[in-house]
Amino acid sequence: MARRSGRRPGNPDTRQAILAAARTAFAERGFDAASIRVIAGAAGVDPALVHHYFGTKEELFRATVDIPVDPADLLPAVLAGDPDRVGERLVRTFLGIWDSPAGAAAVALLRSAVSNEWTARLMREFLVTQVLRRVLDQLDLDPAERPLRGSLVATQVIGLATMRYVIRLEPIASASPETLVAAIGPTVQRYLLGDLA
């Protein structure tokens, strides 16, 4: 699931300086407003070196939050197919990531976001710009409704992750993915495309 970029690891100190500058910029300005140019300037390097080490701005952002999964790789399969089952597919894909070895990094991000305002900002930016926006842009929705729909989905899937992987409340913690897809898929479906009033 992790995409190997094949990029050169580069000088460890320079990499760390770029990551630190990127974390600050993404948390303070948000993903959209934080530019590679600003990040490079803060790290004291040329913008070309940032691209050389980390690739695109999306890839740099995923490196700052230590998430080895690229939502851009996974979401097309969620969005393809019967629109009446997109909620089920989203929950199934989400559980597939969190139940995989990549889940440990996701749990670490969640723990950190809950206890640290800085990481909370990065997690918000990650959810909104890397996951929710990509899903919502592909659905036939009133643009004015998208933010509420997206954040409702976040309450349910992050709550699922919190209870299954962090608090480990039974029987959610050991339920089969398909039990959870059947129970929670319709909730996500309604939040994305159903009647909320």
User: Residue numbers of the site for its own copies (CB under 8 A)?
Assistant: 110-111, 113-115, 120, 123-124, 127-128, 147-148, 151-152, 154-160, 162-164, 166-172, 175, 179, 182-184, 186-187, 190-191, 196-197
Residue positions counted in the chain: 197
Q: For the packed helices 103-115 and 117-125, what is the interaxial angle rounded to 10 degrees?
A: 130
**Residue (48 or 183) nearer to its own copies, CB:** 183
Nearer to its own copies, 48 or 166 (CB): 166
* Nearest distance from C-beta of residue 138 to its own copies, angstroms: 20
- Closer residue to its own copies in complex, CB, 18/150: 150
Residue 32 CB contacts under 8 Å (≥ 6 apart), including other chains: 129
Distance of closest approach, residue 78 Cβ to its own copies, in angstroms: 19
In the complex, least distance from residue 157 CB atom to its own copies, rounded to whole angstroms: 7
Q: How near is the Cβ of 24 to its own copies at its closest, in Å?
A: 19
Residue 173 CA, chain-centre distance (Å), reads: 21
CB nearer to its own copies: pick between 2 and 167: 167
Give the nearest distance from C-beta 172 to its own copies in angstroms.
4
Cα separation, 119 vs 73, whole angstroms: 24
Buried b (16+ CB within 10 A) or exposed e, 22-49: bbbbbbeeebeebebebbbebbebeeeb
Q: Compare residues 53 and 126 and give the one whose CB is closer to its own copies.
A: 126
Dihedral angle over CA of 71, 18, 120, 146, nearest 10: -40
Alpha carbon distance 90, 77 (integer Å): 9
